[in-house]
Chain A
């Protein structure tokens, strides 16, 4: 019994480190498979949400809201007055100072890309608007 143990331990000593250390190849394979999986399955998009509701037909149900009209040719007006996109936050902010948090209605003509609408909403949000209603022209 003692002799067998001594034989085994001397064999282990003779075998050195290589007998005890594991090969790195299977570990590398697993890491690479995980890496490829996560690179393909992961999305790095930082999604944000803008809460929006629909107004009634022809712009009904938007009484008392700040009306921003977006035209298909890129023009923008606030309550019938032409306005630049950069001025939206200031005007919305001024309306907010007069009373409670401004509520904005966006009236969009057919052909207005969503990016333009989101740009206006981003500006209005900077001015303190929190509620947005989207209405059509007819």
Chain B
């Protein structure tokens, strides 16, 4: 019995794995095409749902505004007053038109965003975008 199986299956059972491997390959190809590798948000975030345009590329890391109002930039929590210090290396690197993406939680206070935008403008950020998730 064992001998007969060996004769018909030269790969010793590997051929039975083929459908399984095919599914794994299909999943891999799906992940490669549909997904985009990006750095993880430093805080749990539920982005607002809404229509927007294709985002323009930014050389700056995004600024995160959490539900509790805390600000996160470049993986670290920053106070609103310390944003100038956090953006300093990018300004010194010769970035002319600072473009910043703000990834804010859907439940965060819009009034916080008003003061934040005003501060960013004062710091020389030329363009700010609020990031949303396409519905």
**Cβ–Cβ contact A125 & B51, under 8 A:** yes
Instruction: Tally inter-chain residue pairs, CB-CB below 8 A.
Output: 167
- What is the minimal beta-carbon distance from B135 to any residue of chain A, in angstroms? 8
- What is the minimal beta-carbon distance from A22 to any residue of chain B, in angstroms? 9
Residues of A in contact with B, size category: 35 or more
- Indicate whether A45 sits within 8 Å of B110 (C-beta atoms), given known contacts A16-B10, A31-B28, A53-B121: no
29 contacts between A and B (CB under 8 A): A17-B10, A18-B12, A21-B10, A25-B14, A28-B17, A31-B21, A39-B31, A48-B55, A48-B134, A49-B101, A49-B132, A50-B52, A53-B117, A53-B121, A108-B114, A114-B107, A114-B110, A114-B130, A115-B106, A117-B48, A118-B132, A121-B50, A122-B50, A125-B52, A134-B114, A134-B117, A135-B114, A136-B114, A136-B115
Q: Which residues of B contact A (CB under 8 A)?
A: 10-12, 14, 17-18, 20-21, 24-25, 27-28, 31-32, 34-38, 47-56, 101, 104-111, 113-115, 117-118, 120-121, 127-134
